Amino acid sequence: MLFSYLAHRRACDDKQRERAGRIASPPEIHHEPLTPQDKNILSQPTSFIIAFVQTSSLHPSDVLTTYAKRALQAHAQTDCLTEVTIAPAEKWARGANRSGPLAGMPVSLKDMFAVKGHDSCMGYSALCGKPLDYGDVFVMFLRDAGAVPYVKMNTPTTMLSFEATNEAFGGTENPHKKGHSPGGSSSGESTLLALCGSRIGVGTDVACSVRAPSHYSGTYAIKSSMHRFVKTGSVLSMPGQEGVPATHSPMGKTLEDLETSFGVPCSR
């Protein structure tokens, strides 16, 4: 038992070091203070950003840089990020579909969504250090629509809790009151949205897993109906459990953001 605990502790420590390295690795611009242009981009609703990209008034790379800056600031405040995929996201942004319904819009993802080359450990030490060799079909749909996935978000272990703590990444703070929970299980997602580190994101819901954290954080979400969105490739906390299935569910900073994003992945 001692040796298994030591292996667990080592896996968690290694994962946190890996995350710290990825946070430090993006270009220095992502660690600089927000500029007036950044603040203007952050103040725009999702529909405006998409329209600006579609008309070439904004480049997806500029939008990504702004949201990457703010996401890293939000993480320093709340410990909300798990996988930092900003480096590959820069490549995706350069080739993003600028005529798509989510043209150039950064999208944050709950940790269970598979991104090739990165873990989806959901707080399980046994899944740390095991980067996936495939990507989530839902994430592929988002990219086809022009979106740029750039960070993955913290969850409680097993994703079956209204809390936001696991030993792999630690606990996520409520965005409005330190020392309080942001709810769960889409904990990091609602926190990042509340702090404007993202405008739109995707969580999952069985029993209030997007609704509770949205309530705690003052953001918006809707639990999708069963099978509305494809789940092929998503990493499950309990593979084979089909009695109470989760649904992929969109989340937004505002109701308008939520309305803009809802339905896009299934309109392909």
User: Hey, which residues are catalytic here?
Assistant: 110, 185, 209
122, 237 Cβ separation under 8 angstroms: yes
- C-alpha to C-alpha distance for 20 and 37, rounded to whole angstroms: 27
Q: How far does Cα 32 stand from its chain's mean position? A: 21
Give helix 86-94 / helix 60-78 axis angle, nearest 10°.
Answer: 160
Q: Report residue 137 as tokens.
A: 């079909």
Report the DSSP pairing between strands 165-166 and 81-84: unpaired
Q: Strands, E, within the chain: which ranges?
A: 81-84, 106-110, 148-153, 165-166, 170-171, 200-205, 220-221, 247-252
**208 Ramachandran zone, left/alpha/beta (phi>0; psi -120 to 50):** left
Distances (CA, A) of 259 to 105, 229, 264: 14, 16, 10
Roughly how many angstroms between the first and final C-alpha of the chain, as a whole number? Answer: 50
Three-state secondary structure call for residue 163: coil
Three-state secondary structure call for residue 197: coil
Place of tokens 């990091």: 188
